[in-house]
Amino acid sequence: MVRQFMCATPLAAVNFKVKDITKEVDFILMILSHTILQKYPLKTQYITRFLKAIISQMENNGNELCDELYLKYVELIQNESNKGPFYKHYILGNNISNELTESVITIQESTSIVSQGTTGLCTWQAGIALSCWCLKNQDILKNKFIIELGCGTGLSGISTCLNCSPSEYWFTDCHSAVLNTLKHNIQINETYHKFNCKYDIVQFSWSDIEDLKMFENKKPDLVLAADVIFDDTMFEPLCSSLKYFTINKTTEIILFCTLRNSETYTKFLATLKKYDLLFTQSVLPDSYSIVLQQDCPIHIINIKQNAVMSK
């Protein structure tokens, strides 16, 4: 529940029926007065709704309610402000350290899924899944030159730079507002954590063939992307860029896709085939479900020159 609260998981996806709710409430009250949340606040409306849901749950359970919880709730509804910026705090590892800042990655996010004409100002479900996958597969990422396409707010890349020791990491996206937010997110996390690799922030659009020239002398070992398969007008430019990366036979590409619409997904697979990109597919195992916010499976597409083609 604490993890879900910190990254403002939609209330419908939060499990309020936990074993020891009083203990979790104490922890959440402690977090609310922690400097990291004072400096980088969650949206107040989210906090009040969350506290209200906890209060209802405790009343239904017959739990004794602590005054501090009510007081905090009242204080927040009296000062509810919609003025951002707002942040989310992701706890991706298994443990929550006593020094909270060690455990969290803080990300400034827009509260709507499209803002300033881009989808890249909030972190998407597949982006969270990719971040967790990278943590569990550090051996695959170690010492690799990694390029992330459509990196958005930067959660996956920041976590990878902090935890997975790549040789170099390029955060790429086409949108200037996205890249500015990303810079800010990197700065925030650099104050609390040590980045263990070189990194760069690069404006790169799949639709601009000229942009590909910057990779002529810089061949990635690994290309990562999450939630970039939703706009079918982008499939051709995206696959064309992916094809370019596979000229280097050892480059591997891993795409994380939330399966919201199977027709769109099938169309993307057909475009991969059209570009002769060999791939395998798998579904993110259930063990990752702790971070998922929607009931849509995450598919992992692995593109490699020597892949045995998926049907």
Ligand X SMILES: C[S@@+](CC[C@H](N)C(=O)[O-])C[C@H]1O[C@@H](n2cnc3c(N)ncnc32)[C@H](O)[C@@H]1O
Q: Give me the least distance between CB of 25 and ligand X, in Å please.
A: 30
Q: Give me the least distance between CB of 112 and ligand X, in Å please.
A: 13
Q: Are 173 and 201 in contact (CB under 8 A)?
A: no
Catalog residues that contact ligand X under the rule CB under 6 A: 118-120, 123-124, 126-127, 150-153, 173-175, 178, 205-207, 226-228, 234, 237
Q: Give me the least distance between CB of 254 and ligand X, in Å please.
A: 12
3-state secondary structure 81-127: CCCCCEEEEEECCCCCCCCHHHHEEEEEECCCCCECCECCCCCCHHH
DSSP, collapsed to helix, strand or coil, labels residue 49 as helix
Q: Give me the least distance between CB of 245 and ligand X, in Å please.
A: 14
- In the bound complex, which residue of the shown chain has the CB atom lying closest to ligand X? 120
Query: By C-beta, is 21 or 212 nearer to ligand X?
Result: 212
CB neighbours of residue 190 within 10 Å: 13
Q: Give me the least distance between CB of 270 and ligand X, in Å please.
A: 19
Query: By C-beta, is 48 or 119 nearer to ligand X?
Result: 119
Q: Give me the least distance between CB of 124 and ligand X, in Å please.
A: 4
**Residue recorded with tokens 């993110």:** 284
What backbone phi and psi angles, to 5 degrees, belong to 151? -75, -15
Query: By C-beta, is 25 or 174 nearer to ligand X?
Result: 174
Query: By C-beta, is 51 or 179 nearer to ligand X?
Result: 179
Q: Are 250 and 221 in contact (CB under 8 A)?
A: yes
Query: By C-beta, is 47 or 226 nearer to ligand X?
Result: 226
The distance in angstroms from the start CA to the end CA of the chain is 39
Query: By C-beta, is 124 or 279 nearer to ligand X?
Result: 124
Q: Which helix (H) or strand (E) holds 223?
A: strand 222-226
Q: Are 301 and 257 in contact (CB under 8 A)?
A: yes
